[in-house]
């Protein structure tokens, strides 16, 4: 028997080799201090159940905290980068008609997913002169996630059990068996 680490970060970003490189937690609170974020990270890592990544990012509507070369060492280590998130997320908030004060964690997670996808699939890295995104290149995070994927899907794991409560599930299974076994009587009935 073995204990499997949980990969249930709010967002998990994998590189091209399908290695977890960025773990992301998304929270909708505002005005969160670096000290609070550091303690939050420590508490999450103390449980030892989440998969570790070289980059760990806690995202709030107004600030991002990034730990680099993380892998869970030095649990009380302060973030390597503190980034003003307002210029990053302003266009998304304006487009959705929501303010940072109104957004839920779920909606912010959708915005963050869109923002990260735009970065991951961009044809060129952000400029170091770009105050709102230069830290991505400077930290090495851009190179780590470029061309990667967000939470690779294990389609079998996703659908396992998803149909068990459907009334026609047993009938579909029976038809599948009949087709594989060539049982035409069952197919006709």
CB contact set of 60 (below 8 Å; sequence gap of 6+): 27, 28, 29, 30, 32, 85
3 located within any domain? no
**Together in a domain, 138 and 112:** yes
In a domain, 46, yes or no: yes
Stretch 110-130: mean pLDDT:
85
Give domain status of residue 2, yes or no: no
* 36-92 per-position pLDDT tens digit: 999 999 888 887 777 788 999 999 999 999 999 766 666 688 999 999 999 999 999
In this prediction the pTM is 0.74
pLDDT category at 112 given cuts 50, 70, 90 is very high
- Which structural domain range is residue 167 located in? 157-188
- Co-location of 104 and 181 in the same domain: no
- Chain segment 157-170, per-residue pLDDT in tens: 444 555 566 666 67
- Alpha carbon distance 46, 52 (integer Å): 12
CB contact set of 28 (below 8 Å; sequence gap of 6+): 60, 61, 103, 104, 105, 108
4 lies in some domain: no
Residues 135 and 62 in one domain: yes
Please tell me the least confidently modeled range out of 61-65, 70-74, 94-98, 144-148: 70-74
Does residue 10 carry a pLDDT above 80? yes
**What confidence score (pLDDT) does residue 115 get?**
93
Are 163 and 76 within one domain?
no
- Model confidence at 93, in pLDDT bands (50, 70, 90)? very high
Q: Do 173 and 148 share a domain, yes or no? A: no
Torsion sign, CA atoms 78, 81, 87, 90: negative
Residue 34: is its pLDDT beyond 60? yes
Greatest extent of the chain over all pairs of C-alpha atoms, in Å: 72
| Count of structural domains within the chain | 2
Residue 89 and residue 75: Cα distance in Å, rounded? 28
Q: What is the mean pLDDT of residues 80-106?
A: 93
Which residue reads 């780590």 in tokens? 144
Q: Are residues 147 and 163 in the same domain?
A: no
- 25-34, 64-73, 169-178: segment of lowest average pLDDT: 169-178
Instruction: Determine the average pLDDT of the residues in 163-188.
Output: 64
* Residue 167 CB partners (closer than 8 Å, separation 6+): none
87 and 131 within one domain:
yes
Q: Are residues 165 and 80 in the same domain?
A: no
Rounded-to-integer distance, Cα 122 and Cα 125, Å: 7
């Amino acid at each position: 028997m073995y204990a499997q680490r949980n990969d249930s970060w709010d967002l998990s970003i994998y590189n091209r080799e399908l290695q977890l490189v960025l773990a992301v937690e998304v929270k909708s609170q505002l005005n969160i201090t670096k000290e609070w974020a550091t303690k939050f990270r420590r508490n999450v890592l103390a449980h030892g159940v989440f998969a570790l990544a070289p980059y760990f990012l806690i995202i709030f509507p107004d600030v991002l905290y990034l730990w680099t070369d993380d892998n869970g060492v030095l649990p009380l280590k302060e973030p390597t980068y503190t980034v003003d998130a307002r210029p990053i997320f302003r266009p998304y908030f304006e487009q959705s008609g929501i303010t940072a004060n109104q957004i839920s964690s779920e909606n912010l997670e959708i915005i963050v997913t869109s923002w990260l996808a735009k970065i991951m699939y961009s044809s060129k890295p952000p400029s170091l002169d770009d105050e709102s995104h230069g830290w991505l290149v400077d930290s090495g995070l851009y190179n780590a996630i470029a061309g990667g994927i967000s939470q690779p899907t294990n389609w079998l794991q996703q659908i396992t059990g998803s149909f068990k409560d459907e009334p026609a599930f047993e009938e579909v299974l029976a038809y599948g068996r009949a087709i594989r076994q060539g049982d035409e009587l069952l197919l006709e009935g």
